[in-house]
Structure 1
Amino acid sequence: MRPEVQTFVAGGPLPDEDSTEEEIDRRDQQLRAIPKPVTEEEANALVSCFGPDSCYGVAWTLLHLIETGPNPVLTAAPGPGANEWHQRRYDRAGFGEFIPRT
């Protein structure tokens, strides 16, 4: 895994929108430093970094970065109470026909 991805993943999930502007900007800069496309291993690691909300759009950037990697990343439907971003990623993979619908 490349160092930029390791650094981002080590920071844990994205902060929520109540975090400081500095923290959100720091995480955004870390994310934007990751070269595209990502590998399957990196995409799988990055999925763990979704936070509780959109983090002022940073979660969308994360989602789009994950989508530069091999699909599908999430092949099983997220369970009840799953993070909305995991559900969104799963839905987008299904709409793109990367995973079969039952």
Structure 2
Amino acid sequence: MRADVAAFVATGPLPDWDADEVQISHRQAQLEAMTGPVTGEEATALAQCFGPDDCYGLAWTLLHPIETGPNPVVTTKPGPDANEWHHTLWMRAANGGLITGAEA
């Protein structure tokens, strides 16, 4: 795993809307430091970093590198208690035809 991705993953899930400006800026800088498409391993690790909300839009920024990976990270429809971002990843992959037999 590349150092920039490993550093982001090691920091843990994105904070929620109650996070202070320093936390938000740090996570944004980490996301901006990531370059190029991610590997399947990196995409899977990054998918575990979604927090409880959209973290002032950073969750959408996190979604994009995950989708540069070679395969969809979420290949089965998440259960009702799954993180909303896992539902989003699954729906986008299903709608894009990346998951066969899936209904969005």
Q: How many residues align?
A: 102
Q: TM-score, normalised by structure 2?
A: 0.94
Q: Displacement of 1:33 after TM fit? A: 0.5
Q: Confirm whether residue 47 of structure 1 aligns to residue 47 of structure 2.
A: yes
The superposition leaves residues 35-76 of structure 1 with CA deviations (integer Å, 9 ceiling, x where unpaired) of: 120011100100000000000110000001111111211101
Query: In structure 1, what is the equivalent of residue 38 of structure 2?
Result: 38
Query: In structure 2, what is the equivalent of residue 79 of structure 1?
Result: 79
Q: How does 1:1-102 map to 2 (within 5 A)?
A: 1-100=1-100, 101=102
What stretches of structure 1 move > 2 A for 4+ residues in a row? none
SS in 1 for 2:73: coil
Unaligned runs of 5+ in 1: none
Q: TM-score, normalised by structure 1?
A: 0.96
Cα contact 1:75–1:99 (8 A) shared by 2? yes
Q: Identity over the aligned pairs, expressed in percent?
A: 60
Q: What RMSD, in angstroms, separates the aligned Cα atoms of the two structures?
A: 0.9
Unaligned runs of 5+ in 2: none
The superposition leaves residues 73-98 of structure 1 with CA deviations (integer Å, 9 ceiling, x where unpaired) of: 11011112111001001100001110
